[in-house]
Structure 1
Amino acid sequence: MLLVPASHRLAGKESITLDDFADEPLVRYAEAAYDAFWRIGPRPDGRPAPDGPLVETHADKLEAVAGGRALALAPAGGGNSAVRRDLTAIPVAGIEPCTVVIATRAGERGHLVTAFRESARAASHRSRF
């Protein structure tokens, strides 16, 4: 999903492609591999994403997007715009979904671990298109 301000030119689109926002700045992250993953680096055409502000927290990312300083890619079903009326999330076609794995100790049966597994399983089914 691409997070954009609610007033952005792409807001309201049913779906977009990487080309639709290729020249727009994306937030940056301090860790290189994390940054490359969330900025789709390198891009299929070899160009880097234009640099937006460096963000350290999820709240920083949301504020940068809401303030119009950058856009941000985010997981589908992540709830990034659900509680903020100044943001909208748009599905991005052509970006391969990633696999999420939950690992626990063998035989772990604690209440919190079980609840987390169930919550993650339910969220993964809700986020499919």
Structure 2
Amino acid sequence: MEIFMFIMFMSTNLFMILILKYSCDGNYHYNNGMILGVHIPSEHSGDEAVISLAQKEYKNFKRFLIINIILSTASCLLIFLNMIISLFVYIIWILGFCAAISILSVSSHRRMYSVKEKNGWIIES
């Protein structure tokens, strides 16, 4: 039973992390006039502040994914010790994962928007 639960939880975790990686990966590159969810004028898409912030945030995103692969593996390995504790740890991990990806996304968006405001790239209609 433990082996089946381990395989099921581990495959679910890896699918979830990979889906997140491939769905959010495009946010860190200039695409359709946006980077990190903020509209940046095309003539300023190559500015040093924009590129350095996008690279820094992408590095943080990759670090977040690696940490979560390690944490999800550890939570799955707890199944072999105690299944009840493992389920509680898994639930806590999943809630923390959802909260952390939201915080990571919003904070990177706000940093890019502050770069946009600081450089005066806001076009008022």
User: Larger C-alpha radius of gyration, 1 or 2?
Assistant: 2
TM-score normalised by the shorter chain: which range applies? Answer: under 0.3
TM-score, normalised to structure 1, is: 0.24
More helix by share: 2
Q: Which structure's relative contact order is higher, taking Cα pairs within 8 Å and 6+ residues apart?
A: 1
More strand by share: 1
TM-score, normalised to structure 2, is: 0.25
